[in-house]
C-alpha cells in the first residue's frame, strides 16, 4: 500500500476494514405496478462519503469493477452497486474475505436474499414475503412497507370472509 499513489489498487483486507465501517448492504421493496406482484425488490451495496473523499469511492468502484459514484445527499457521494451480476461478485468477495463487525449479519441476510432473487422467488407473493421478513432483520429493523401492506390485505380479506 503506497502512501503517495492514490490510484494504486486497494488491498482486499483494507476494503474489508473500510466496508466494515462505511458500507451498507441494503434491500428495498418498492411498489411497482408494472411487476406481476405489484412490488419490486432492489438490493444494493452502498458506500457513502463526503465529497472530499470521492477519490476513495472511485478507487472502490475500480476495485469491484462495478457500480457508479453518484450524489447521495448535499455534499455526500455514494458508490452504488445494483446490478445482480455485480452484486454476486461483491458477495463472493466478502465470502472469501469475511467482515469482522456485526455487519456480517446484514451481509449474510443480504446474500440469502440475493439467492432468492436468483431463483426468481421475488416474482411470487410467497417469495416476496420471505424476502421482506429477511429485510426486516437487517439494518435499522424497520418493518418493510410490503409486509405492512400484505398483512393489511390479509387481515382485510380474513375479516371480509368472516
Residue closer to its own copies by CB (options 19, 131) is 19
Distance CA 151, CA 125 (A): 12
3-class secondary structure, 24: strand
Summarize as ranges the residues that interact with its own copies (CB under 8 A). Answer: 1-3, 6, 10-11, 13-22, 49, 52-53, 55-56, 59, 97-98, 100-102, 104
From 78, 72, 140, 77, select the one nearest 106 (Cα to Cα): 140
- Please give the Cα distance from 138 to 126 (Å, whole number): 19
User: Least distance from C-beta 142 to its own copies, angstroms?
Assistant: 16
To its own copies, the closest distance from the beta carbon of 46 in angstroms equals 13
Q: Looking at beta carbons only, is 49 or 150 nearer to its own copies?
A: 49
For residue 35, what are the contacts with CB-CB under 8 A and spacing of at least 6?
Answer: 123
Least separation in angstroms between CB 52 and its own copies: 6
Instruction: Indicate the residue among 108 and 150 with the shorter CB distance to its own copies.
Output: 108
Residue number, 100 or 152, with CB nearest to its own copies: 100
How far is CA 17 from its chain centroid?
Answer: 18
Cβ pair 42, 28 in contact under 8 A? yes
Shortest Å, Cβ 1 to its own copies: 6
Amino acid at each position: 500500500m503506497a502512501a503517495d499513489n492514490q490510484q494504486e489498487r486497494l488491498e482486499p483486507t483494507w476494503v474489508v476494514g473500510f466496508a466494515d465501517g462505511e458500507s451498507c448492504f441494503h434491500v428495498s421493496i418498492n411498489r411497482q405496478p408494472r411487476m406481476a406482484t405489484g412490488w419490486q425488490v432492489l438490493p444494493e451495496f452502498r458506500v457513502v462519503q463526503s465529497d472530499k473523499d470521492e477519490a476513495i469511492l472511485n478507487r472502490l468502484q475500480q476495485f469491484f469493477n462495478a457500480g457508479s459514484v453518484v450524489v447521495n445527499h448535499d455534499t455526500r457521494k455514494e458508490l452504488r452497486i445494483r446490478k445482480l451480476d455485480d452484486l454476486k461478485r461483491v458477495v463472493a468477495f466478502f465470502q472469501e474475505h469475511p467482515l469482522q463487525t456485526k455487519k456480517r449479519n446484514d451481509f449474510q441476510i443480504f446474500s440469502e436474499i440475493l439467492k432468492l432473487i436468483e431463483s426468481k422467488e421475488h416474482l411470487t407473493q410467497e417469495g416476496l414475503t420471505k424476502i421482506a421478513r429477511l429485510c426486516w432483520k437487517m439494518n435499522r429493523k424497520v418493518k418493510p412497507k410490503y409486509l405492512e401492506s400484505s398483512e393489511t390485505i390479509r387481515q382485510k380479506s380474513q375479516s371480509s370472509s368472516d
